[in-house]
Each structure stands twice: as structure tokens, then as C-alpha cells.
Chain A
Amino acid sequence: MKKELHLPVMIGLVAAATLFGRVLPTWTLSLATIAASNALIALGIVVLARTGNVSFGQGLFFAAGGYGVALIANAWGLTDAVAQVVIGAACGGLLGLVIGPLIARYSGIFFGMLTLALSMVFYGALVKSTALGGSDGFNVGRPSLFGMSFTDPREADFMLYAVSVIVTGFAGIAATILFKSEFGLASLAVRENNLRVEYLGISANRVISINFVIAAVFAGASGAFALMAQRHIDPQFAYWTTSGEFVFIAVLAGNQSVAAVFVASMALELVRSFSNLYLPNTWQLVLGVFLLGVILFLPGGIGSLWIGKRRKRSTLATKEPLAEKGAAP
């Protein structure tokens, strides 16, 4: 279990994945970009889930990041991709800082429902705000990188792909380190028995809040990517089905491998788009069956395909009866 993580290897993987984009057919580039940014937010959900809490409202931070970036971009004409990611992450993180401590004391379904409620309130506010285009949202210009602007579609797509893969990759590395850290262990402890954690003089709420903020930062950055990839933002970013999809990816991936999150979100995108092409009338059905299949045959998530039978350490595959989680003292 206590195997060393090889930083160089992981960085190498990220680099390889980035260069791989060179040989990918163009249409997969933007697909992979979306997949990467979805993976980033799903990763945040996994991080948070290690404390036993699943957020059904990540759309809130996703949208916060997206709108933050979009507004700043349109106001000051700031188009640099990296800067936009940073802004997105900051917007998400700040909101997380405000909300995290407030809802850290809830657990289980209540945590999920509260996050969902908050994101839906935000959604309502966005639909109302005609200044932001209401439910139709508004567009932003294409991103640049370090002063270079990309007019050739393929180059532009590759630039986005590269940035998103690199950022998501490093987020993944950070997460792996976090999971192995003291704090990561304490997070698992909170999931298992937050009462004992308190009795050890550790603040379970603080542990949850910190993980929550990390998840919010990832979500905000992810929002920035989604915005850059589609140059358009609307309240759908904050809608409950959007958040649901991210949880969907997190569960699909399981939490045994960070790479699995990326694979899962790529798989989801592919299934969705091909079923929509060949079965335009029944793509939802295909999606549903696919989901059931994965949950049924890969209980540990897609990750379990190559991680194999390691000791169960899953956050999303072990059942805790609500009775215990209902009322934390």
C-alpha cells in the first residue's frame, strides 16, 4: 500500500498525453478537452467524497468559474487561456471558502441536497439576470496563449487541449499526493467516524471545508475550460443535471485511480456523442444502460480495471447507514 509515487513518471505521462494530441484527429481534440475539464471537476468530487460527502451542486462552482471568467474576459478583454483558468479557479475557490464552512456540518444525503439547493438558487438568479443574457447566456471571444492567438482551427483546438490536459494532469498529481498525505488519511478518518475524529481533537468540519475548497477550485477551473471550449456560457452550467453528470463521472471512475477519472469522462463523451449520431432518438436510453452496466459489472469503477484487487478503500462503494450519518453531534 505504502508504495512511493514517482513524480517524474507522472509528469512524463502528462507530457506524453499532451503530445499525443498532435496525432489525434481534430474532432477528438475538442472532445478530449471537454473530457479533461469534466475529469477535473469530477476529481474534485472524488477529493470531497473521501470525507464521505458527495456534492450534487458542483455546478454552482462550475458556473461561478465560468461566469467569472466570461465577465472579466468581456470587460477587460483578457483572453489568455492560463490566466482564465487561474481566474476560474479563484472564483470557484472563493465561493467555496464562503460556503464550505457553512455546510461542512451536514453529511450524507443532506449535504448533497443542500449543495443542490444552493446551485439551483444560483441557477434561478442567473436565469433572472437579463444583463447576463438570462437563460440564453452570452458568448466570449476565443482564448489566446502568452500573447499568441490561434486562427487555424486545429491549432486553436490543440492549444486548448494541451492546456486542459496539462492542468488536469497536474491537478491529478496534486490529488495523488494529497490522498497519500497526513491530511488525506485524516479525511478518510472523517468519512469513517467523524465523532472519533472530534474526540482526537481534530476539527472534522475543518477537514471537510478544506477538501470542499479544493473541490471548488477544481470546479471553477473546469468551468473556465468549458467556457473556453464552447465560447458560450448560460445558466445550464449551474443546473442540477449538469452537477449530476459530474457525480456520474466520479462514480463511473471509482476512486482507486486518478487516471480512471479522465478515462471515465472520455468514455462518457464518446458514448454520448456516438449514440446521439447513430441513435438520435434513443441516446438517453443507451446512456442509461451504459451507466447501469458500469455500476453493475465494475463496482469499483472503471479504475478497478487496471488497479485490480487492492484493499478496498473506496469512498463511493461502501455503504454507511443514514442513521449514523444523520446527526453528527
Chain B
Amino acid sequence: MNRFRRANRTVVIASAAAMSFGLAASASAQETFKLGVVTFLSGPAADSFGVPARNGAQFVIDQLNKGSAPSPYEKVGFGGMKIEPVIIDENGGATKQVQELRNLYQRDNVDVVLGYIGSGDCLAVAPIAEELKKMLVLMDCGTPRIFEESKYNYVFRTAAHATMDNVGLIRYMKAKNVKMGTLSAINQDYAWGQDSRADFIAAAEQLYPGVKLQTDLLPKFGAGQYGTEISALVGAGSDVVYSSLWGGDLQAFVLQSAPRGLPKRSQLVFSAADHVLPPLGDKMPDGTIIGARGAYGLMSQKSPLNEWLFRGYEAANGVYPVQASYRMTQAILGLKAAVEKAMSKNGGKKPSTDELVAAMTGLEWPSPGGLIQMKLADGHQAIQPIAFSRTKYNPDLKRVDLVDIQYFAAECVNPPPGVKSIDWIKGGMQGAKCN
């Protein structure tokens, strides 16, 4: 961390000085690749996503700069250029993020900005990068709106959007023939919660025709105490209780609902819960169906790449990597692939933004979480495989294991190009390839 900071401080001061003499153009570094990394270091999303993502970034960047990543990523840094990260806190709202993005590009002269977990932040920063004609790699945020509402040339998202989380979840429940005559839901009252709820219910109506929605709760984000909500849910006693809660809210909800018998009355189904397994441990009721927004962590498929990340990260941080770490990794690896592809075309020079963009568009690359394919939004939006499973506490390892894991191919849970997610779901998920 320190090293990074000291490094870029000097550069920034230099470049700032340079710019004030009006030579902004010539201020970018030669043989290093300056990468702006934006992730939550404070605020409610820090522990669940922000910090695992940052740790992932630091691990991967270290490895790449040492040239000790497995094939096909063994080249040092990005095509020989050392990666020099500038890490920024995503906390503080879209207004602040827009400003910080400008600073990264215009003041700190980073070559590419990579990151963003909050959907609101992604929506806000995308058009700015497009205007500045600078490359922006969104690594995590959930909302499909980014590319469904507008077209971008300089903006990419290297992770699938939230649609597959809920479509996949329903497919999994169907596959494991989970009974769902009645359904209750609890989701946070902001975009992520509202959208996830809409997707899940829409998908449920397709695969579980006639499912009855009973209690449908939208507690405030960060409420922390769910006594009342739990009473309502237990009272309803539906077959299934669905939730897209995450982080501290999800943990609090699980902690408070278990002793009140909710897991006994209803099948709990969490669309994005892998990141709370390490902290919750035996507090997570067995048999809960969970997703990880990808084939990540304990649900990841064996591969040299995955071993490298899983073991390496665990060694470096004491805990195994969860979705955010994986998503950060696949973003950085994707960028590396693009840079090196561009360099192979332009004879090994540091590629220009436009060369980079051309290389990234429609790219495919292997990642610890499986194959990433930039298939949607004219090659700007990734699709990827996803996995779901049930929890089972393992007293020997003192951790939650995941059992009867099932994978779904990217084409099975993601809409085909040119179709709006919600329309695709409501239209019966036409053209899904589930082999």
C-alpha cells in the first residue's frame, strides 16, 4: 500500500506541475501502466465487497508485476509494463465519484480506471469517461441499465449484470425441485434490492407459474435490526423466503432470524451471500440456498488459475477470496489480455486508449471464475457462468461448506445480445442455451 502511494505521489506532483505549465499531454509515464482502482474502503460496502476487492487487486497486481501468475498471464505486468495502481475510496456518493474520476484521468493521468461496486456510481461515471474519451472498466456493479439505457465506446463491464443472479437462482431451485407455492421476500429499499426483487419474481412467474407472493418487505438500507420484519416473515410462513440482502444487513438478518425459527418454517434463498459465509460460520443455517454472483470462492471450478488466486489470496489475507475479489481479478486479467492483444497488433508500443478499446471489445479470456466473454452491448458487457449451492457447516474445518453445487452456462442465465433483461425474463427467457 505505502509503496503504491509514495510512487504515485511524486508522479502526481510532477504531472500537476507539468500541467500548470500547459504541457499536460506529455505528462504520462513511459514504461509503467498507471491504473486507477476505485473500490469501497469505507462505508457499509467496505467489508463485504470493497476491501476484498482491494485485496484482490493488490494480490493480482503484485503477482503480475513479479511475473509469477500462471499461464496465460505469465508476462510481467501488462505486456512488460509495470502496473502502478492509484487506489481511491468509492464511498461518498455519485457526485464525489464523478469528481474523483475526472481527477484520476486529468490530474493523475491514469491510463485506465478500473473498479466501481455501486450501481449508482457506475451509472454516474460511465458517461463522464465516455466524454473524456478515456477507458473505464466497471468491475462489479449489478444494474443492467448501464448498457441497456445507453451506448458506450470507452466503457466496459467485465462481469455479468444482476439478471443472471436471479434467473440462475430460479433455475437452480427448479433443478433441485424446491417447492415454492408461496413466496415471501425481503430486500433493501434501494435500486439493488428493488431490481433483484423484480427479476426474481418475474423469473419465478415463468418457472413457477401460479406462485403466490405473500409478505414483500423493503426495509431501509442499513437498518441492522430486523425483529419486526422477521415476525412478519415467520407469520407468513411461506415455502420460500427470498432475499438479496448483502453484507452487514444480511448477517444481521441471519443472526436474528435463525433463533426465531424462520429457517425451519421457510426455505431461505439468498442471491448474493457467499461473502458472509466466512464471518457467519456456524450461524448460517444449513441447507440455505445461496448464490455468489458467479462461480466464485467455494463454488469455483478447479483450474490452475483458480488455485493460484484461491491459495495465494488465502495466504496473503487469512481468508479465502469471495465474489468481489474474483470480480476484481477477472477485470484486471481482462485488461491485461486486452493490453497485450493491442501490443501484439501495434508492435509492442504502449497502446493508445483507442487501440485498447478495440482490443477489449468482444474479448474473451479465462479467469479464476471461468471464461469471461464480452458478448453483450456490442462487446462491452461480459457474460459468465454462475453457480449455486446449499450451505452445510463443517465443524472440523470450522467453516461453511457448499454442497450440491450446480453450474449454469453463461448463455443459460444471461439474455442474448440486444434484448433488455427484464423483457427477456418476462418473455420466457427465449434463446437460453442450457445444454
Q: Do chains A and B touch in the complex (CB under 8 A)?
A: yes
Chain A residue at smallest Cβ distance from B51: A281
User: Given the complex, which residues of A lie within 8 Å of B150, measured CB to CB?
Assistant: 139
- B 1-42 to A, binary, CB cutoff 8 A, 1 in contact else 0: 000010001001000100110101000000000000000011
Q: Is B42 a contact of A284 with CB atoms below 8 Å?
A: yes
Point out the residue from A23, A239, A280 that lies within 8 Å of B87, measured CB to CB: A280
Point out the residue from A23, A27, A276, A278 that lies within 8 Å of B102, measured CB to CB: A27
Q: List 7 A-B contacts (CB under 8 A).
A: A25-B107, A30-B99, A31-B103, A134-B191, A135-B190, A237-B95, A276-B92
User: Given the complex, which residues of B lie within 8 Å of A23, measured CB to CB?
Assistant: 22
User: Given the complex, which residues of B lie within 8 Å of A273, measured CB to CB?
Assistant: 99-100, 103
Q: A230-B95, A269-B99 are in contact. Are A280 and B145 (CB under 8 A)?
A: no
Count B-side interface residues using an 8 Å CB cutoff.
Answer: 47
Give the complex CA separation of A165 and B106 in angstroms: 21
User: Given the complex, which residues of A lie within 8 Å of B126, measured CB to CB?
Assistant: 139
- B 37-52 to A, binary, CB cutoff 8 A, 1 in contact else 0: 0000110000000000
Q: A156-B131, A273-B100 are in contact. Are A230 and B89 (CB under 8 A)?
A: no
The reply to whether the CB of B252 lies closer than 8 angstroms to some CB of chain A is no
Chain A residue at smallest Cβ distance from B142: A136
Shortest beta-carbon distance from A71 to chain B in Å: 15
User: Given the complex, which residues of A lie within 8 Å of B103, measured CB to CB?
Assistant: 27, 31, 273, 277
Q: Taking chain B's interface residues, is the majority helix, strand, or loop, or is none over half, making it mixed?
A: helix
Q: Is A232 a contact of B86 with CB atoms below 8 Å?
A: no
Chain B contact residues, CB within 8 Å of chain A: 5, 9, 12, 16, 19-20, 22, 24, 41-42, 86-89, 92-96, 98-100, 102-103, 105-108, 119-120, 123-124, 126-128, 131-133, 143, 145, 149-150, 189-191, 194, 221
Shortest beta-carbon distance from A200 to chain B in Å: 44
Give the complex CA separation of A25 and B133 in angstroms: 18
Give the complex CA separation of A127 and B124 in angstroms: 16
Chain B residue at smallest Cβ distance from A237: B95
Q: Is A283 a contact of B128 with CB atoms below 8 Å?
A: no
The reply to whether the CB of A105 lies closer than 8 angstroms to some CB of chain B is no
Shortest beta-carbon distance from A26 to chain B in Å: 5
Give the complex CA separation of A69 and B162 in angstroms: 30
User: Given the complex, which residues of B lie within 8 Å of A239, measured CB to CB?
Assistant: 93
User: Given the complex, which residues of B lie within 8 Å of A277, measured CB to CB?
Assistant: 12, 86, 88, 103, 108
User: Given the complex, which residues of B lie within 8 Å of A137, measured CB to CB?
Assistant: 94, 120, 123-124
The reply to whether the CB of A231 lies closer than 8 angstroms to some CB of chain B is yes
User: Given the complex, which residues of B lie within 8 Å of A232, measured CB to CB?
Assistant: 94, 98, 123-124, 127
User: Given the complex, which residues of B lie within 8 Å of A281, measured CB to CB?
Assistant: 41-42, 89
